[in-house]
Structure 1
Amino acid sequence: MKVSQGDVVRNHMSIELILRKAVIQDLNNVVEIFKSTIRVMDDNGINQWDNVYPDEEVLRKDILKGQMFLGKIDDRIASVFVLNQEYNEEYKNGNWKYKNGSFIVVHRLCVNPIFQNQGVGKCSMMLIEKMLKKENIESIRLDAFSLNPVALKLYERSGYVRVGKANFRKGLFYLYEKKIY
């Protein structure tokens, strides 16, 4: 997948999010952002991630495979996400509307806690959609933890449609899909 380095999107708060592919030198910062995010999620009763997943090895592999992307604000990592065509066996439970078209799966969307509640998650999804439209990808698929109201609201307000359910280690997740092209 090609990435247009420097793709930019602005939100209603005039925050400018700039996209770039993660490199191995970003790993320590990415790991720290995930650890901080996990603490915030735990404080809010969202027990989705932990020291088992996503751990440093998972994040390292994402970078080495060239599948991790960073949204940056003022040269600081504001968001992290992974794009690929990999998915869990549980995705068979999805009533996917665009079965025969090209699709990408969004994994591990994480907003750095110092940038939360500023529309960075929405901006990240807008950047993803903008990038994938350039690649002629028809739809985006993802899963979201059923007990993460912030993520559910983000995806549903961004036009993602719930197409099924999956059970992972931490419990019930909803499967989502959006046609973008």
Structure 2
Amino acid sequence: MFRGATRSDLPEILKIYARAREAMAAAGNPAQWGASFPPEELLKEDIDSNRLFVYLVNGELEAVFAFILGPDPTYAVIEDGQWLNDTLPYGTIHRLASAGKRKGVATDVITWCLEHCESLRADTHADNKAMQHILEETGFIRCGVIHVADGSPRFAYQRMSLTMPLEH
């Protein structure tokens, strides 16, 4: 079951993000989220703006992610490529983290997001091989490089919904 996150979910959400940071560091990606990303204040802002979601299975919180409909300013400029489709409204997945207890959680999240938009975008750090693999396995195409607010580069991906043909 998917639902909007609430402030009462924060203790569990913070544990999931801490586990994700540890897993990322152990996999050779210590820089993307460092020791404290995402900060609690950002998560509260996401909750209050109805853009932070949780995925529950049998009442257990299995994943947390931001899902944002509409233009993302960091995606306005793409280098070394182009978006598959830059005219359709899109949604973006940010800050996806799993509790690490089940396989297929990221695929379930992506499927759910695609039910709510025709075009879905995501980005990840060059060292985040696990997320790159998940995105590519679920039909995302690497489109180029974008830069996040602090100026650091991220691989940018896009996936069209199942009902929309891919455009190249």
TM-score by length of 1: 0.79
State, as a whole percentage, how many aligned pairs show the same letter.
22
Residue 149 in structure 1 maps to residue 129 in structure 2:
yes
**Residue 163 of structure 1 contacts residue 177 of structure 1 at CA under 8 Å; is this kept in 2?**
yes
Q: Give the length in aligned residue pairs.
A: 157
Q: Name the CA shift for 1:24/1:81 in 2 (closer, same or farther; >3 Å).
A: same
Residue 67, structure 1, aligned to residue 48, structure 2? no
Change (3 A) 1:106 1:88: same
Q: Distance in 2 between matches of 1:93 and 1:38?
A: 27
Deviations along 1:136-163, one digit per CA (max 9) or x if unpaired, are: x320111111111110010011111111
- Runs (4+) of structure 1 moved beyond 6 Å? none
Determine whether 1:160 maps to 2:140. Answer: yes
Residues 122 and 156, structure 2, Cα contact 8 Å, conserved in 1: yes
Other structure's SS at 2:33 match: coil
- CA separation of 1:153 and 1:170: change in aligned 2, threshold 3 A: farther
Report SS of the residue matched to 1:92.
Answer: coil
Q: CA separation in 2, counterparts of 1:89 and 1:172?
A: 10
The residue that corresponds to 1:109 in the other structure is 96
CA spacing shift, 1:39–1:158, aligned 2, 3 Å: same
Q: Distance in 1 between matches of 2:65 and 2:77?
A: 23
Separation in structure 1 between the aligned mates of residue 151 and residue 12 of structure 2, nearest angstrom: 25
Between the aligned partners of 1:39 and 1:70, the Cα distance in structure 2 is: 20
Unaligned runs of 5+ in 1: 1-17
Q: Distance in 1 between matches of 2:71 and 2:46?
A: 11
CA-CA distance at 1:171 after TM superposition: 4.5
After TM superposition, the score normalised by the length of structure 2 is: 0.84
Question: How many Å separate the matches in 2 of 1:142 and 1:74?
Answer: 27
1:60-107 Cα shifts (integer Å, max 9, x gaps)? 111110001111112111011111135243541161232221111111
> What residue is the counterpart of 2:15 in the other structure?
32
- The reply on whether 1:79 has 2:71 as its aligned counterpart is no
Q: Match for residue 158 of structure 2? A: 177
Query: Per-residue displacement from partner, 1:112-138 (whole Å, max 9, x unpaired)?
Result: 1333xx1111121112212x1xxxx32
